[in-house]
Amino acid sequence: MIYLELPENLRVLVNQAHQIAKNVFRPISRKYDEAEHEYPKELDMLAALMDGLNAGGGRQDGIAALKQERGGDKVNNGANMATCVGFTEFCWGDVGLALSIPRQGLGNAAITAVANAEQKKRFEGVWAAMAITEPGAGSDSANIRTTARLDGDEWVLNGEKIYVTAGSRADAVVVWATLDRNLGRAAIKSFVVPHGTPGIEVVRLDRKLGIRASDTASITLTDCRIPKENLLGTEDIDTDTGFGGVMQTFDNTRPTVAAMAVGVARAALEHTRELLSHEGIKVRYRGSIHNKSAVEAELIRMEAEWEAGRLLMLKAAWMADNGIPNSMEASMSKAKAARVANEITLRCVELCGGQGYSQRNLLEKWARDSKILDIFEGTQQIQLLIIARRLLGKRSAELR
């Protein structure tokens, strides 16, 4: 059974995350929106706190949990749930800043999903970005063209990666590359490439519509040599330890993206209600919806959509914590919450008119920030395709 009331230990975490969002993120939100690519130094003090809260390690523990068989009737609200409720609060403060917290990169989740025990210990404390997307391989991650060739005791990597979140700030980049293009997705492996390694170069930082506090890099690898042991997992061509690892990573991080969407949408709804109340417009929840004003009815409708996205997010995180395969539910949560966040933030701008459109308020920024949540880690269209495959029992080759 899923209990919708947060237990006491998670309430403490939520309160701490909310205080960070309110007292750290909100005051500097506009500053780093306008100073794109400038590193938010205020976040350094959060790194130790995040380690203490075990948010980064929590996500990783959740990935490990999916590899285990569910035993008994014990219900766990563990690492994935903690990460999701925490990031909901962080993104109530600022999405871009939440993405910029050191050691919270997607690459860290990939390391735990695929690495062996020795590698996990060796890369402990490393801030790792994830490099999957390429100019010719966007939503279709299986179409990766970056190559990895074994030369003695070193791997030689060649290729180009784009849209790497925290790509210039992280200590290392987890690069997904193929050992043999002819063998398709089964030959795709992940490699930890520390920044400073000869051959890896950040060639561009993208200017973006939103999440400007977070850097988004393009990276090239030219005869980049790394130690043989920096391949995560085994070099055997096996889907379970190769491409399957990145898919399992997504099954755990997509609910986190849903949580981010829930957070920014809640921020927009709360601020819109506050602005409208100053104009004498207050939402009355009792009585028929047909007796409400158009603005009241619209806010109530958006709140219902927001709640649906929130519940799907909680279910996907709960399943991950309890060792229940959640690929379909993870995609459902991201598809619903991200779409709802886009709709809510834009509609709130409209409802608030000039105040919503002006930079005097954060509503217009939240509308810009929310769009990425419907794009990265799998677009809306890709999520719906994954859901359809799961519901119909089709393989990717059978339903494209």
CA atoms within 13 A on the CB side of 169: 22
Dmax (CA) of the chain: 76
Total residue length of the chain: 400
**Gyration radius of the chain's alpha carbons:** 21
Residue 300 corresponds to which tokens in the numbers above? 């109530």
What's the DSSP call for residue 137? B
**Contact (CB, 8 A) for 98 and 106:** no
- Range in 43-47, 210-214, 237-241 with the lowest mean pLDDT: 237-241
Helix H segments across the chain? 8-20, 26-34, 44-53, 55-66, 79-93, 95-98, 106-114, 117-122, 243-278, 294-321, 327-351, 353-357, 363-370, 380-392
- The candidate with the shortest Cα–Cα distance to 122, out of 210, 31, 176, 192, is 192
- Separation between Cα atoms, residue 293 and residue 299, nearest integer Å: 10
Strands (E), 138-199: 147-151, 154-165, 172-178, 188-194
Instruction: Name residue 305's amino acid.
Output: E
What would the mean pLDDT of 244-258 be, rounded to a whole number?
79
Annotated catalytic residue 377 = yes
Give the angle 68-73-79 at the CA atoms, nearest 5°: 50
User: Which stretch of 37-41, 82-86, 286-290 has the lowest confidence by average pLDDT?
Assistant: 286-290
φ/ψ of 148, rounded to 5, equals -130, 125
Determine which of 30-39, 190-199, 315-324, 337-346 has the lowest per-residue pLDDT on average: 315-324
**Digit-coded pLDDT (tens) for 338-357:** 999 999 999 999 999 999 99
Q: Give the mean pLDDT of the chain.
A: 88
Q: With 0-12 CB in 10 A as exposed, 13-18 as middle and 19+ as buried, what is 6?
A: middle
Active-site residue identified among 134, 329, 364, 377: 377
- Residue where the block lists tokens 């070193």: 154
Report pLDDT for 229: 96
3 state DSSP class of 331: helix
